[in-house]
Structure 1
Amino acid sequence: MSHGKIREDKTCLNCGHQVEERFCPHCGQENTERRQPFYFLFTHFVEDFTHYDGQFWGTGKNLLFKPGKLTNTYLEGKRQIFVPPVKLYIFVSFITFFVFALFPMVNIGSNDKNNEEHDKPGILKIVKPINSLGTKKIIDSIKTKKILTEEDSLAIEKLEMIPDSANLEKMLDMNKTIDSGDGIYKTKKAYDSAMAKNPGSLDFVEKPIVHKYFELKEHGITKKELFNNMIEKSFHNLPKALFIYLPLFAFFLWVFHNKKKWWYFDHGIFTLHYFSFLLLTILLIFLLGKVAKLTEIKALNAFLYLGMTIITIYSMGYFFIAHRRVYRANGLVSIIVGIILLTINFFAFMFLLTGLALVSFMMLH
């Protein structure tokens, strides 16, 4: 596994026992030279995770294309053939977190919003000058030009549709204090006033979220940005949510299977392998989506989206295949139990994911 130079001294540096070959028969430490070239740090890191003897690649191939095999092999006691479940999950999770951090999907409050507003010729450009010059003065200043362009004509039309500064300020003041009529309040003050008149049992949950929304709105963040950011946060929270959900998923497996035949440990191994697969598929879908956004070739985009669809469908059927192979249940019984398990876990996991998304939302600034 390692390419470090073997020591001429056959005494193990760790425990003092005699080492006949590369590894100490007493403690298992490799009897290599203590001092290594600088590049050995990197090669040793890669070896620890991927094992140049093919252990890692064999594990990945079986994990992706042979549902349930890793779990069966491990529970049979053959534990040196593939990467251990915990080590596999940690490595896959690390890679997923790293890629998500390296390629964010949405940068909230970025210059894209400012550029969009800069390109709009409507009210966003003219509200500020209205307060100082007035609509009529702006129109007169445009008309003084010898040659009026199409942009000038469009600007005059829009200005004539907007009230003067005095009326505009009155409208804005009214907008701050009234309810829009469909349950969406324009300001935090209007919301707090309505909640004070008609308090609810879940106000302690709703109120901080609404206040955070108005705080972000005051900083110029649009609803579209918030929506995109919530999608990004939910997607990026998947690895965290899966890690938190590991023991609960194994618990539901324990509830639905023979307690004498299957221990909680066995369900934990199945869960680690299944969640490692989910992380890999999430990572693949994410990368394909990023490539699809970068390319403008329609044929390539269609191929990428087709690949994402196939991976999604395959990941949905993966659980049923792995569940039947590991627990060796009758086909129909396995499908029914699998559907019940997935339904329960889906709602429980979405509840957890929603909670994490709300926490992330509250931490936006």
Structure 2
Amino acid sequence: MKQLTSHEGLHCANCGAPMQGEFCHECGQSIHSVLRPMHGMIEETVETVLHIDGRIVHTLPPLLLKPGFLTLEYFSGRRVRYIAPFRLMFVLCVLSFFVFHLAINKIAAMIPTNGRPLVMMNTGSIDSAANPAEVRKALQDELDGLQSASEMGVLPQNVLDQIHLDTLKLRRRASQRLVELGAAPMSAASIAAPLPVVPVQSRDQANTGDATPDMPRRPVVEQEPQPVRIAWLPNTGNARLNELLQQIHKNWQTFMDGDPGASAEAKQRMINGVFGALPPAMFVLVPVFAVLLKLFYVFRRRLYMEHLIVALHSHAFLFLSLLLITVTGMLSTWLRPHAAWTGYALGLLQGALILWIPTYLLVMQKRIYRQGWPMTVLKFWCVGWCYLWLLAIALIVAAALGMAH
């Protein structure tokens, strides 16, 4: 049982007001001093962490499973046990885009650059070799190519790991081909030997023509885009627009026609730029979505702040769903080679999460605004149609700004 404490005769150290509790009713300062033993600081820290964790436990499950519950609780004044709407939306937005960025990076690493993969292993020359000397020459040519690719200095770690695996595969295949031709196989030490480590060239050296001679550079064709002028924009606006277009064109030309290193760097730069522009674009859409709700429910006599809270909780749910869908997809990719049934089960879970998103938002709109199903479905369709167009515009602008990074 909590012990009752009397604060009679005590005064606030900050403003001098008589204390009626642990916090001053005039300035809000706590009666407890910050000068305390170390064990007291540890106790306060543990209490704060457990309090935050408690709010997470009370907030995330209903956010995902109970449409409109958090919003109605907030309207009813029961807010202490839940995370504030803006903080909830902000944290989930940053976390979901961070995880989604990781997933996109893994996918982008396997996307061909300038029409060919960053790393490509070919055992055809080894298989077609007619004698042991040709096998050894073909193996050395393939290893030289992998060595040159590993020295570019811009490849992600998963591609470097793939180069190591390809090296082992090439040597095993060459050893098998030597046995087929009646020669002695390669030793286990030779097969497992890593590629020689060569100091990575700096990007300045690569750009001045000191690149590896085995990796011929493809010239980048500089074709400046035609300047664009919009009549209703001021001169500074048109100048900024043309600057962005030129940077987009430069990045795209480097990605398509540059050497593999520069192409990979341009691709990563554009991806990072897009993901850097997405969170601000989504923050702009939240108040715009609240305006749409205000317009379609103008006769419900609700304040704009109420619609804004609905928008914050709706977007928090969308970001949480995106986070779960992305994590589920990454787990499926990781577990499928070890247990195929997990990929099937996680695929079903992903599909269920995708279908749950529109269902959740429709039920949430019905519970909060308390209209009949026909009118709710009609307004849900109209609001969703308008919002999808706004979302498409925001994503296009974010993509353009990101590609101009």
Contact 2:271–2:402 (8 Å) recurs in 1: no
Q: Which of residues 355, 358, 365 in structure 2 aligns to 1:313?
A: 355
- Aligned pair 1:43/2:46, yes or no? yes
Pick from 123, 135, 141: which aligns with 1:149?
135
Alignment match, 1:257: 297
Residue in 2 that maps onto 1:273: 313
CA deviation profile, 1:141-179 (whole Å, cap 9, x unmatched): x99x764439859x9xxxxxxxxxxxxxxxx9xx98xxx
- Distance in 2 of aligned mates of 1:108 and 1:316: 27
C-alpha distance in 2 between matches for 1:285 and 1:229 = 25
Q: Deviations over 1:54-92 (max 9, x none)?
A: 444222222222111222222233433533322332343
1:289 — aligned with what?
329
| In structure 2, C-alpha distance between the alignment counterparts of 1:228 and 1:302, rounded to whole Å | 31
Shift of 1:272: 1.0
- 2:376 aligned with 1:334: yes
1:262 Cα shift? Answer: 1.6
Alignment-mate amino acid for residue 12 of structure 1: C
Larger displacement relative to structure 2 (25-34 or 350-359): 25-34
Counterpart residue number, 1:136: none
Q: Deviations over 1:171-212 (max 9, x none)?
A: x9xx98xxxxxxxxxx634x55xx67xx88799575542332
Cα–Cα, structure 1 residues 263 and 34, in superposed 2: closer, same or farther, change >3 Å?
Answer: same
Q: Matches of 2:23 and 2:292 in 1, distance apart?
A: 42
* Amino acid aligned to 2:46: T
> Does the Cα contact within 8 Å between 2:329 and 2:346 map onto a contact in 1?
yes
The 1-side partners of 2:7 and 2:254 are apart by 65
CA distance in 1, matches of 2:100, 2:18: 47
SS of residue paired to 1:269: helix
SS of equivalent residue, structure 2 residue 392: helix
Q: TM-score, normalised by structure 2?
A: 0.60
- Which position in structure 1 is the counterpart of 2:66? 66
Change (3 A) 1:23 1:256: same
Task: Provide the rounded CA distance (Å) in 2 between the counterparts of 1:298 and 1:109.
Answer: 24
Measure the CA separation in 1 of the matches of 2:344 and 2:7: 57
| Deviation at residue 222 of structure 1 after TM alignment | 9.1
Look up the match of 1:106. Answer: 105
Judge conservation of contact 1:7–1:32 (CA < 8 Å) in 2: no
* CA deviation after TM superposition for structure 1 residue 292, in Å: 2.1
Shift of 1:300: 1.3
Residue pair 1:246, 1:271 contacting (<8 A) in 2 also: yes
AA in 2 matched with 1:120: M
Q: How far has the Cα of 1:220 moved from its partner?
A: 2.1
Equivalent residues, number: 302
Which amino acid counterpart does residue 244 of structure 1 have in structure 2? V
The separation in 1 between residues aligned to 2:387 and 2:110, in whole angstroms, is 39
Distance 1:301 1:342 in 2: 32
- Whole-Å Cα distance in 2 between the matches of residues 98 and 30 of structure 1? 37
8 A contact 2:9–2:18 mirrored in 1: no
Displacement of 1:121 in angstroms is 4.0
Cα distance in structure 2, aligned partners of 1:86 and 1:152: 61
Residue 215 (structure 1) aligns with: 254
Task: Quote the residue 1:162 is aligned against.
Answer: none
Distance 1:201 1:314 in 2: 45
Question: Once the 2 structures are TM-superposed, how far is the Cα of residue 221 of structure 1 from its aligned partner?
Answer: 5.9
* C-alpha deviation, 1:336, in angstroms: 0.8
TM-score scaled by length of structure 1: 0.65
> Any gaps of 5 or more consecutive residues in structure 1?
1-5, 126-141, 156-171, 177-186
Check 1:110–1:60 CA distance in 2 against 1; reply closer, same or farther (3 A cut): closer
1:242 aligns with 2:282: yes
2:57 corresponds to which residue?
A: 57
Of 356, 364, 367, 1:322 maps to 364
Counterpart Cα distance in 2 of 1:7 and 1:99 = 50
In structure 2, distance between residues paired with 1:100 and 1:81: 29
Change (3 A) 1:348 1:12: same
Identity of aligned residues (%): 22
* Residue in 2 that maps onto 1:183: none
